Structure 1
Amino acid sequence: MIDNEEQSLTKVLQEAIPLQVHRKTNYPPMNEQLSGIFSELAQLRKANNKQIRKAARAKKHLDVIILDLWIAANYSDNPWRMISLNRNDYTKDTRYRKLYLKYDLFKGVLYNLIALGYIEIKKGFFDRSKGEGFQTRIKASDKLLALLEFDITKIERDPETPEEEIIIKKDENKKVIDYVDNKITNQMRENLQKYNSLLRKTNIGTDGINLRYKYDPTCITVKRVFNADDFGGRFYNGFWMNMPKEDRRKLTINGEEVGELDYSALHPRIAYALKGILLNEDPYTIEGCDRAEVKKAFLVLFNCESPEHAINTIRSESHIKNAKPLLQKIEQKHEAISDYFFTPSFGMYLQRNDAWLAEYIINRLTNKGIACLPVHDSFIVAKKYESELRSAMEDIFYNTFSIKPIIK
């Protein structure tokens, strides 16, 4: 049991995201609570014959830490945040690190909060001989959470904090890497900034959805992530993207009910379209097979290097026992596109295309002032704009592949 708990904690710590430094609140009841904690911090320093220098800025650091840890504890499945205790990380900005926090102020406030029992910490380390390390993680303690009565709707973005990078490049190990900007990346960033500006002005309602411990409704802006050898750049970060469809249906946009349209079986239809074939039937329906299992297995075929690789992946990741016969049935039914199977470069091509489709749709609707929430190959808009969305989805698919898509 202990081993399982330790493994679970290790996984959670590894998946922790960085502390979000852009939080603030102007809501008096919440500011009173934060000021009360800051007074405790001042008393602690006084008892240790120390003073708080630059009190206003120190208070701002305290607010950032507590607001984000409260959100992590209440509106995420992971209460831990990753922080740096390396002074060098606070002395200069890089593409992905624009902390705006001051090292001495941050560290002083952090360790005072730890001493007061308001924060738990898992100290990081770096092994120079192995070139491996673990960055420090922190989370709000039960003592702190019991003290706070916050309202998520009263937490906003601090306009004084620098904008984060929204065009992100990762290497084959999923680590962010720097890149040289060009006309394409600059245009992408400009388009995405315009889109995010529209999202910030949009009221995305969540009444009727249980957000606690699952979704952070303050994540309303979007980033594009380019993985190694990926020139597509899928859209990520919006809190709605991780919701099941039944919750997404309960969203509202500017007080109105929403509609969601998606490309039916997008990747198989693209593959057939490249052969000049209009696929009218459901590619995932195969007699004697579970449709959900067919769908999971089908998409693996484009990204694996061999049948053996596909079978092992289907078994390990989708937990499908009859992987081999299922694979054979899919290959038989879809012989027309079988030469695309077991070709990872084609799988990457499909991912690039769904990102490009999404880019066109989002830009077209943004230019019309219509807020559109992407979920990879599906899109959410206020119901009155469904026809606009459908038109954009049909136009870009037909212009790209010379065949009409099926949209549901």
Structure 2
Amino acid sequence: MKQSRYGPSFISARSFQDALQILIGTGLVIRTTGAWYEPHGPSNRTARYQASEALLHGLLRNGASVAALRRHRAAEGIRLKDQNKKLVEYGNIQFADDARDRLQDINSMLTDHWVDLAVSDDQLSRLKSAINGDDKEGAAKSSDFAARTVHRVFNNSDWEQGGRFYGAWWMGIPSELRRYILIDGKRTVEVDYSGLHAAMLYAMERMDIPEDPYALSSSTGLRRSQRKLIKRTFNALLNFSGNGHLQPIEGFSEEATGMSWIEFRASIISSFPNLSKHFGSGIGLKLQYKDSLLAEAVMLKFAKMNYACLPVHDSFIVHQALQDDLTEIMQSEFEKMFGKRGYVSFDIGLGEVVASSTTKPIEWSPAELETAPGYEQRLRSFRRNGQSTK
């Protein structure tokens, strides 16, 4: 049987399963989430496992650090899925080969730098618990700092649908935590393509792009405070295709909007008469393909400069001193692709360091290192393992 391109080449499925069962049997690995499979059911779930406290303590006693971990370079980074979101095997496709080469350049850029959160482990737990209502243990383990590379996912067995980047840990954390991101121990800034898909459609229709592409006229009865809901509904309408009507999206309520879902949806459609032909067309995934090419171009520019640039779908995070460079590159790449420049606004949030329990400067002696915040220790380990920045 031919081996799947999505499976690791250095170990068979049987060997992996045998090794996993041994680790579970010795208490070094525990299963946190069960699995189920329904051949014709609406959803399936893969079992999830994590290292036990005994394994983690053993690794720490022997000087191991998450900073020394890297994903295998040969792991397949270009993933094609069908309409049911199942991975599709494919042969030697030139587009995929070229995209894989560019992806390796991007991932090399990402792994050449250490990305962390400027909070202690306890602070991280409290912050995530406050944001998500998660339990302390789950919150503390939800950031996998070893997940520092990205892969691309194309949808519906079509190389021109989807293609966005996924997989890096900073993509999955709550947006409120991204302000604490550090790159190589330095503060960061996030620059956002505000209203990206709407801006793309305006440009494709050869229309001027409003300063806020999601802005609605006051006659709709919708308020600016509802912008997030408006944006989500707008994009849901772009992704929707088929018979019937789009059902209420998560977060909608008649109490909050003062109107029914049908009225709310109709108000949004009527507010964009020049774009309404795209609603219900399913164009959303094709726009994702275009924004993935845009993200790829931006990151490759930073890779050539040997600077880190972290993707978060339609925004990017860089060292704060590179804010102007990032803004210029984002604008120029948008203009190159869509023929417009200076019509996309940017949401900028400066990274900050959470105050520690002491104001005493950290001296890099062995004694001080033991009490240094976890993010400082991980950075030191990253540099000590020969993975320092260029």
User: TM-score, normalized by length of structure 1?
Assistant: 0.66
Q: Distance in 1 between matches of 2:328 and 2:164?
A: 21
Extract unaligned runs of 5+ from structure 1: 1-87
Partner of 1:252: 182
User: TM-score, normalized by length of structure 2?
Assistant: 0.69
Q: Distance in 1 between matches of 2:274 and 2:40?
A: 49
1:301 equivalent among 217, 227, 237: 237
Q: Distance in 1 between matches of 2:286 and 2:174?
A: 26
Q: Distance in 1 between matches of 2:37 and 2:227?
A: 47
Write the letter of the residue equivalent to 1:233: G
2:263 equivalent among 320, 325, 349: 325
Indicate if the aligned counterparts of 2:111 and 2:149 stay in contact, CA closer than 8 A: yes
Alignment partner of 1:399 is 2:336: yes
Change (3 A) 1:146 1:176: closer
Q: Distance in 2 between matches of 1:136 and 1:395?
A: 42
Write the letter of the residue equivalent to 2:227: R
Give per-residue Cα distances to partners, 1:13-41, cap 9 Å, x unaligned. xxxxxxxxxxxxxxxxxxxxxxxxxxxxx
Give per-residue Cα distances to partners, 1:83-118, cap 9 Å, x unaligned. xxxxx8xxx743111152367765555444444455
Indicate if the aligned counterparts of 1:98 and 1:162 stay in contact, CA closer than 8 A: no
Local SS of the residue matching 1:233: strand
Indicate if the aligned counterparts of 1:225 and 1:233 stay in contact, CA closer than 8 A: yes
1:338 equivalent among 276, 288, 312: 276
Write the letter of the residue equivalent to 2:313: H
Give per-residue Cα distances to partners, 1:278-316, cap 9 Å, x unaligned. 132434344432222211111111122369422x1x34x
Partner of 1:291: 227
> Deviation at 1:373?
0.5
Partner of 1:240: 170
Q: Distance in 2 between matches of 1:225 and 1:95?
A: 14
Identity %: 29
Change (3 A) 1:302 1:230: farther
Indicate if the aligned counterparts of 1:260 and 1:380 stay in contact, CA closer than 8 A: yes
Q: Distance in 1 between matches of 2:328 and 2:293?
A: 16
Partner of 1:367: 304
Local SS of the residue matching 1:407: coil
Extract unaligned runs of 5+ from structure 2: 125-138, 255-259, 347-390
Indicate if the aligned counterparts of 2:150 and 2:167 stay in contact, CA closer than 8 A: yes
Partner of 1:22: none
Change (3 A) 1:189 1:104: closer
> Deviation at 1:361?
0.8
Alignment partner of 1:164 is 2:75: yes
Change (3 A) 1:155 1:203: closer
Aligned-CA RMSD value: 3.4
Q: Distance in 2 between matches of 1:124 and 1:371?
A: 37
Alignment partner of 1:224 is 2:161: no
Partner of 1:357: 294
> Deviation at 1:123?
9.2
Give per-residue Cα distances to partners, 1:360-405, cap 9 Å, x unaligned. 1111221121211111110111112122211111112112222223
Partner of 1:82: none
Indicate if the aligned counterparts of 1:293 and 1:320 stay in contact, CA closer than 8 A: no
Q: Larger relative CO (CA 8 A, sep 6+): 1 or 2? A: 2
1:215 equivalent among 105, 130, 143: 143
> Deviation at 1:205?
2.6
2:115 equivalent among 204, 208, 212: 204
Indicate if the aligned counterparts of 2:229 and 2:252 stay in contact, CA closer than 8 A: no
Indicate if the aligned counterparts of 1:117 and 1:143 stay in contact, CA closer than 8 A: no
Indicate if the aligned counterparts of 2:67 and 2:145 stay in contact, CA closer than 8 A: no
1:194 equivalent among 100, 105, 112: 105
Write the letter of the residue equivalent to 1:362: M
Give per-residue Cα distances to partners, 1:170-228, cap 9 Å, x unaligned. 11111111112233222211111112112111021322172623211110011111111
Alignment partner of 1:96 is 2:24: no
Local SS of the residue matching 1:234: strand
Partner of 2:128: none
Indicate if the aligned counterparts of 2:117 and 2:181 stay in contact, CA closer than 8 A: yes
Change (3 A) 1:293 1:147: same
Q: Distance in 1 between matches of 2:244 and 2:163?
A: 29
Alignment partner of 1:181 is 2:92: yes
Indicate if the aligned counterparts of 2:211 and 2:344 stay in contact, CA closer than 8 A: no
